[in-house]
Amino acid sequence: MITALDHIAIAVPDLENSIKRFMDDFDLDYEGSEEVADAKTITAFFPVPATSIELVHPLNDEGPIAGFLEKKGGGLHHLCFRSDDIEADIGRLKAKGYQFLSDAPYPGAHNSRVIFIHPKSCDGVLIELNQPGDDH
Ligand code: CO
C-alpha cells in the first residue's frame, strides 16, 4: 500500500551550492548527505513535514543523474511514493501493465529499498516507490 508522498527530487549540477540555498536562503533543516552507490548518486535531504526535498547529484560523475544533467542542466527529476510493502505494490502495478526501470528493488538512501516506474507508464513523470528501512 502507498502511504505517503515521501519526497520530491531535484537534480542539481552543484550540490554544495544547492545545499547552501536550501539551508541558508530557504531556511530548511539539512538532514545530511549520503552517497548511494547502487544509484550512482549523492543525495541531500531537507524534510518538510510531511515530505522531503531531495537534492540528487551524480556520484563520481556517472549514472542516470549525470545523463539527466547533461541533457537538461538540472531540474525536477522524480516524485517518490512511500510504500509499506514494495513487493506487493510492484506486483499489483505490473499486473496492470506498468513497466519498471529495473527488475527488482535495490538499495536507496536511508537504507530503503527503491524501484522506479518507467515514465512512459505515468504520462512522462518518473515515479519512485520507496519502502523505508527498519531504522527509519
Ligand atoms: Co528519490
pTM above threshold 0.75: yes
How high does pLDDT run on average in the chain? 94
- The C-alpha cell at 125 is 513523470
| CB 43 within 8 Å of CB 31 | no
Residues 6+ apart with CB under 8 A from 16: none
CA triple 126-130-135, angle to 5 deg: 150
What's the 80 CA to ligand 1 centre distance in angstroms? 6
- Taking the domains of the chain in order of start, what are their residue ranges? 2-131
Predicted confidence (pLDDT) per residue in 92-124, tens digit: 999 999 999 999 999 999 999 999 999 999 989
pLDDT class of 135 with cuts at 50, 70, 90: low
Identify each DSSP E strand in 49-126 by its residue range: 51-58, 75-83, 106-107, 113-117
What's the 95 CA to ligand 1 centre distance in angstroms? 24
- The C-alpha cell at 4 is 505517503
| CB 40 within 8 Å of CB 59 | yes
Residues acting as catalytic residues: 128
* CATH of region 2-131: 3.10.180.10
What's the 9 CA to ligand 1 centre distance in angstroms? 6
pLDDT score of 1: 93
pLDDT at 136 over 80: no
